[in-house]
Structure 1
Amino acid sequence: MRFYKEFGIFLPKIQNKIEQKYKTKAQSVVKMQDPDFRESYLATVSIKPSLLLKGENPRLIDEWQDAPESDIDGITSSLSIEQLIHAACRGGWPAALFKKGDDAQLVVAQDYLENICQTDISTVDGVERNPKWTKAILKSYARNVSTLAKTSSIHKDILSESDNFSIITLDSYLNALRRLFVIEDLDAWSPSIRSATSIRSGKKREFSDPSIAVAAMGVSPEYFYTDLKTFGFVFETLCIRDLKVYSQKLRGELSYYRDRTGLEADAVLHLNDGRYALIEFKLGSREIEEGAKHLTTLKELIREHNKKSDQIQLREPDLLMVVTGGQMAYTRPDGVKVVPIGCLRD
């Protein structure tokens, strides 16, 4: 057993079992073979192992031999997946942030949804609208959040509840919800790296706050514990909301990129000084590789376009970033930044 007292770190050698006396000395423990975190830990220590040193000292790193040593710094987020889910369901409403108790915090978004359907949808422009239809539209929007669902698809959802609801009426409701800043769709970014017909141009369906989507779904935070796939779409809305807030002072604008080949960037953040970032949102660590590959491929596509084009050159992205629901931030060898949502700041 080696003990680096000056750093407050235990680095045990390979053993079938770490002796209990060493566990009792440690104030915090990292278990490299924890099935829930192993992949994330290994990905992190291969690039920024110093992240594992964050924590109360003395710190026990169990099965340290699974990863190579290196001397790099990094940041961590203490936000657990349960806390992340609660934050998305609670929303960013000031009234919710100051409520005591988790249940009380969740009621704020639910009450807001009810006010939208019963009152605001009609008072925004003086046109009387049906609360039931409004709720059905928001529920369909929530089911399609962070997707490129067409208006016709949402219309079909509503027709299942009311067969005399026209698409013209739907457009009127959607415009009212936009004026209320309830829904805030993302426009497509269309650089000249592919033909215009290859790049998707539809709007990405988004809410101004993820809690509205959750309230419209009519589910609790516990629901997402066993349906993280659905929460992944809500997580994307949460990330987009935060990026909008943090980039406000630089007058940042968000869009998205997707083409027919499946290449995408969940968000493209343009700043007012010309810089821009390509961003992917991946809730779990297993999806990071896929997200990073999308970003590096898109950057290479821009680079290849510039080599072949005689026209004005496209600026290459200044940042490639995968925003995750994990706890460790690091830079990959390909230059992609992996940043937990809990570490995003303005």
Structure 2
Amino acid sequence: MAVESSEIQRGEYLPRVADGLLTQALQSSGAVQIKGPKWCGKTATAERQSASQVFMQDPDRSATLLALADTKPSLILRGEEPRLIDEWQMAPQLWDAVRFAIDRGRGRGRFILTGSATPQQEPAHSGVGRIARLTMRTMSLFESQESTGVVSLGELFDGNHDVSGFSDFDIENTAFALCRGGWPEAVVESRVNVALRMAADYVEELLDSDINRMDGIKRNKTWMRLIMRSYARNISSQASQSTIAADMQGEPPSEGTLSDYLDALSRACVTEDLPAWNPRLRSKTAVRTSPTRHFSDPSIACAVLHATPEKLLNDFETFGLLFESMCIRDLRVYADALGGDVFHYRDKTGLESDAVIGLHDGRWALIEVKLGEKQVDIAAAHLKKLADRIDQDHEGRPSFLMVLTATAAAYRRDDGVLVVPLATLAP
């Protein structure tokens, strides 16, 4: 497969969308919590804007720090500010200590809390008004410097729809990027085989220790692997919990146990389902409210399915579902930069939109994902039909309709629908 190795130097920091979001959050809040999957780059991003750091997983100091957190957590907070507390969830009481310190002190941008898991036990206080929350994901194609960025999502929302441009990021590159994922270490790795191995290493470390270390609950590794495999087989679908259970080999766990395992994957930021959009419609039509299943990075699905770039090129059905998941990841990153969220839409008639971007100021857009050019006409027709079904007197007109593809050219169709390759998109 003709995939070029990365020209990025190992150890080089590639700018992230989260850089600007963190700067803004520090200017408005006493502390910022950065949440996201392990290895997505949270610590590197936070370190660049911190003045001092404490690492709760430091093997030389972890036992001492945990003991200190139990006896006098305020000592861990001492240091030049902004002070980074990495993997704070290992001592959840630090959350309340940070909140109390902010209440007692003055100024903003005092602490940065990073973590790859959500504690099962909620802190005594929510932190509302004191601790801003920032979700960080794996690298989008724009952040990994694989998207040309000639089509700006922000400009589309502002009304600039005269899109044009080309990308030489072909279908083979797309298959490789899916299997490699957006893990920063993999992105800068020049050896293709090593880069492709990192997602599998992530899964194995997760199964071996991370998912248990998160809350101290010992979970069945075989069950967890089967659940993740079922999740991967149902990626980009609205598969129910019972569907996931039925798809597992052998005797599945009980409903309660399965719920616990799925919750653990979500709290560890391994999965990130896409919620449903519920707009006001012109006519009474039942809207499906089940979330669409996604991993935080599509390479996790590739790893548990043992999918390689070569296998994906011979299985376009699976390729298409995984490509949709990669599009959702990138759209989420870009929507964060614009102050928005990503949803999906599907009603009882089967009319759907793979992604709906809703900005906090009320603007919205519909997006369908198609791997190739042949399906663009059908996708465009569905988008226009769905837009007509929305009560635009209440919701407003859509800012744009887009078919997001893995093709080469970005252009505007005669019917106004935009055709945009993922590898040309930027915030």
TM-score (norm 2): 0.60
Residue aligned with 1:203, SS: coil
Contact 1:252–1:269 (8 Å) recurs in 2: yes
Supply the distance in 2 between the matched residues of 1:298 and 1:99 (Cα, whole angstroms).
42
Residue aligned with 2:224, SS: helix
Structure 2 equivalent of residue 161 of structure 1: 250
Structure 1 equivalent of residue 242 of structure 2: 152
Residue aligned with 1:118, SS: helix
Pair 1:233 & 2:314 matched: no
More displaced 10-residue stretch of structure 1: 272-281 or 208-217:
272-281
Pair 1:128 & 2:209 matched: no
Supply the distance in 1 between the matched residues of 2:202 and 2:407 (Cα, whole angstroms).
30
| Deviation by residue 1:161-183 (Cα, 9 ceiling, x = unmatched) | 235x1011011011110011110
Alignment gaps of 5+ in structure 1: 1-71, 307-311
Supply the distance in 1 between the matched residues of 2:330 and 2:410 (Cα, whole angstroms).
17
Measure how far apart 1:239 and its partner are: 0.4
Structure 2 equivalent of residue 75 of structure 1: 165
| Deviation by residue 1:231-264 (Cα, 9 ceiling, x = unmatched) | 0000001001111112222222011001111111
| Deviation by residue 1:181-234 (Cα, 9 ceiling, x = unmatched) | 110001111112167762111110011111001001112111011111110000
Contact 2:169–2:408 (8 Å) recurs in 1: yes
> Which residue identity is paired with 2:173?
Q
Supply the distance in 2 between the matched residues of 1:242 and 1:150 (Cα, whole angstroms).
25
> Which residue identity is paired with 2:190?
K
Change in 2 beyond 3 A, CA 1:133/1:327: same
Supply the distance in 2 between the matched residues of 1:132 and 1:187 (Cα, whole angstroms).
28
Measure how far apart 1:157 and its partner are: 2.0
Contact 1:142–1:216 (8 Å) recurs in 2: yes
More displaced 10-residue stretch of structure 1: 73-82 or 283-292:
73-82
Structure 2 equivalent of residue 319 of structure 1: 400
Structure 1 equivalent of residue 266 of structure 2: 178
Residue aligned with 2:354, SS: strand
Residue aligned with 1:322, SS: strand
Structure 2 equivalent of residue 276 of structure 1: 364
Structure 2 equivalent of residue 264 of structure 1: 352
> Quick one: higher RCO (CA 8 Å, sep 6+), 1 or 2?
2
Number of paired residues?
Answer: 266
Structure 2 equivalent of residue 3 of structure 1: none
The sequence identity of aligned pairs, in percent, is 45
Change in 2 beyond 3 A, CA 1:196/1:96: farther
Supply the distance in 2 between the matched residues of 1:77 and 1:171 (Cα, whole angstroms).
42
The one of 290, 296, 299 aligned to 1:211:
299
Contact 1:210–1:234 (8 Å) recurs in 2: yes
| Deviation by residue 1:288-331 (Cα, 9 ceiling, x = unmatched) | 111111111111112xx45xxxxx72212111111001000000
Supply the distance in 1 between the matched residues of 2:416 and 2:299 (Cα, whole angstroms).
33
Residue aligned with 2:343, SS: strand
Structure 2 equivalent of residue 139 of structure 1: 229
> Which residue identity is paired with 1:117?
L
Structure 1 equivalent of residue 190 of structure 2: 100
Pair 1:89 & 2:179 matched: yes
Residue aligned with 1:168, SS: helix
Structure 1 equivalent of residue 42 of structure 2: none
Structure 2 equivalent of residue 341 of structure 1: 422
Contact 1:88–1:235 (8 Å) recurs in 2: yes
Supply the distance in 1 between the matched residues of 2:213 and 2:338 (Cα, whole angstroms).
33
Structure 2 equivalent of residue 56 of structure 1: none
TM-score (norm 1): 0.74
Measure how far apart 1:73 and its partner are: 7.6
Supply the distance in 2 between the matched residues of 1:130 and 1:121 (Cα, whole angstroms).
10
Residue aligned with 1:281, SS: strand
The one of 221, 246, 255 aligned to 2:343:
255
> Which residue identity is paired with 2:325?
T
Runs of 4+ more than 3 Å apart: 194-197
> Which residue identity is paired with 1:89?
C
Supply the distance in 2 between the matched residues of 1:276 and 1:211 (Cα, whole angstroms).
29
Change in 2 beyond 3 A, CA 1:195/1:121: farther
| Deviation by residue 1:112-145 (Cα, 9 ceiling, x = unmatched) | 0111111111112221101111111110000000
